[in-house]
């Protein structure tokens, strides 16, 4: 009798379980999508100078809220995944000419040259020299989107294709791009300076490309001649310090490490004949045992130790990371330098951000920009679900370089006025 009386209460129990399950799912969604995270202007670290005050006035994006798509844009993982798989939405197809440069070791460097589509804001000849991220090139969607936007703002663009990254370009020597080799980028810059003697340069690097361009500028003072400014986006600054964080499961970095290592293996193996073949044995630094170890590698560090460091004769992985990182070259850069990272970038551990933060606190030419969201090279914008074709990153880089160009023009005009006044006296 008692059992019969208790039976009607069972559906209520089931409803409670369903409600608890729904609440648990919603909690996981809110946590994973980081929906409770606020939107805010980027955190800025800089010295109070006339230039920094001009930049804050001329670049509204530096002081304005960055608002990512509401549903998923606050998740650094989703931003990074969309960048990695999709690149950009409705990406344009800018037309450029591919240039080939023969290096001293027989390697063939390539870059794509894109002419401006409008007059520049200061009516001057300005060229952006661009270094993409790891294993990237001018045909990647995020590069195409940025180049098209820069062209429409009056910039000529030269985009380096990392050695070995283009699937339809064969290697002509047993060497690929590495983490910090500046040879190909330097050859491209020298070509631009020689071909366009009146042009001024804006140096831009994305991710690994940020390391390369900063290292290039700091290698010698001559590399900074005719350079207006430099922008680095989402780099990690020190491979030696980053390698430990890349083996941790925090923020799924170990998983990202595996995915990037797998992609690198595919690129290296696509050039297997040149890198390991019998026809160039006398030039090779790699042996068959390296190929065996490559097949079993599951991290970038293993690939760097087995393959990449040997292209330049480094005796150890530690030496390779120390010499190839831009960390020790950053203080030697004297042109205006903007370093951009995202606080939720799953690839760049928070401890690495102390490097640009400390640098910007000491150097007047450096500004560190750190938005809360954006992931790794994501920085998508949009209202609710669908992102816009242009990202916050694209607009910020162009806005910053426009402001630097205007600053240099104002300085030049003031100098001309002072010289004219002194001549009259």
Residues annotated as part of the active site: 207, 345, 376
Q: Compute how many other C-beta atoms are within 10 angstroms of the C-beta atom of residue 47.
A: 14
Q: Rounded to whole angstroms, how far apart are CA atoms 298 and 136?
A: 20
Question: Strand pairing of 97-102 and 108-114?
Answer: antiparallel
* 3-state SS track over 247-276: CCCHHHHHHHHHHHHHHHHHHHHHCHHHHH
Q: Rounded to whole angstroms, how far apart are CA atoms 122 and 72?
A: 38
What 3-state class would DSSP assign to 94? coil
Q: Rounded to whole angstroms, how far apart are CA atoms 322 and 331?
A: 15
Tokens read off for 139? 């045909």
Q: Rounded to whole angstroms, how far apart are CA atoms 299 and 259?
A: 8
Contact 365, 254 (CB under 8 A): no
Longest dimension (CA), the chain: 115
E strand or H helix at 329, and its extent?
none
Question: Rounded to an integer, what is the distance from CA 418 to the centroid of its chain?
Answer: 41
Beta bridge partners of residue 203, listed in sequence order = 129, 230
Q: Rounded to whole angstroms, how far apart are CA atoms 135 and 132?
A: 8
* Alpha-carbon dihedral 245, 247, 252, 255, rounded to 10 degrees: 140
Q: Rounded to whole angstroms, how far apart are CA atoms 138 and 148?
A: 11
């Amino acid at each position: 009798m008692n059992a019969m009386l208790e039976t009607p209460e069972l559906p209520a129990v089931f409803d409670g379980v369903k409600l608890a399950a729904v609440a648990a799912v919603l909690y996981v969604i809110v946590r994973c999508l980081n929906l409770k995270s606020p939107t805010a202007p980027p955190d800025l670290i800089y010295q109070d100078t006339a230039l920094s005050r001009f930049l804050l006035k001329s670049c509204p994006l530096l002081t304005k809220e960055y608002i990512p798509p509401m549903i998923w844009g606050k998740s650094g993982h989703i931003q990074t995944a969309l960048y990695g798989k999709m690149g950009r939405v409705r990406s344009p197809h800018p037309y450029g000419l591919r240039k080939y440069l023969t290096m001293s070791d027989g390697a063939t460097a390539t870059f794509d040259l894109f002419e401006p589509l409008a007059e520049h804001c200061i009516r001057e000849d300005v060229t952006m020299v661009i270094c993409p991220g790891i294993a990237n090139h001018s045909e990647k969607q995020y590069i195409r989107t940025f180049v098209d936007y820069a062209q429409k703002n009056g910039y000529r663009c030269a985009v380096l294709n990392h050695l070995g990254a283009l699937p339809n370009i064969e290697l002509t020597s047993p060497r690929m791009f590495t983490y910090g080799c500046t040879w190909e980028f330097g050859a491209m810059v020298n070509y631009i300076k020689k071909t366009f003697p009146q042009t001024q340069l804006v140096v831009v690097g994305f991710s690994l490309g940020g390391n390369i361009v900063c290292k290039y500028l700091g290698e010698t003072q001559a590399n900074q001649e005719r350079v207006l400014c430099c922008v680095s986006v989402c780099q990690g600054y020190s491979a030696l310090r980053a390698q430990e964080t890349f083996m941790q499961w925090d923020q799924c970095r170990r998983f990202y490490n595996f995915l990037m290592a797998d992609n690198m293996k595919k690129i290296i193996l696509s050039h297997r004949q040149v890198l390991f073949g019998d026809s160039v044995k006398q030039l090779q630094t790699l042996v068959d045992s390296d190929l065996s170890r490559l097949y079993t590698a599951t991290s970038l560090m293993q690939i760097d130790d087995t393959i990449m460091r040997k292209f330049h004769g480094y005796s150890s992985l530690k030496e390779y990371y120390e010499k190839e990182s831009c960390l020790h070259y950053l203080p030697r850069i004297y042109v205006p330098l903007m370093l951009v990272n995202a606080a939720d970038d799953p690839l760049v551990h928070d401890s690495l951000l102390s490097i640009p933060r400390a640098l910007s606190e000491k150097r007047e030419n450096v500004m560190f920009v750190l938005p809360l969201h954006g992931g790794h090279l994501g920085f998508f914008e949009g209202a609710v679900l669908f992102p816009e074709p242009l990202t916050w990153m694209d607009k910020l880089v162009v806005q910053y370089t426009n402001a630097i160009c205007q600053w240099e023009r104002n300085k030049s005009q003031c100098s001309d006025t002072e010289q004219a006044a002194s001549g009259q006296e």
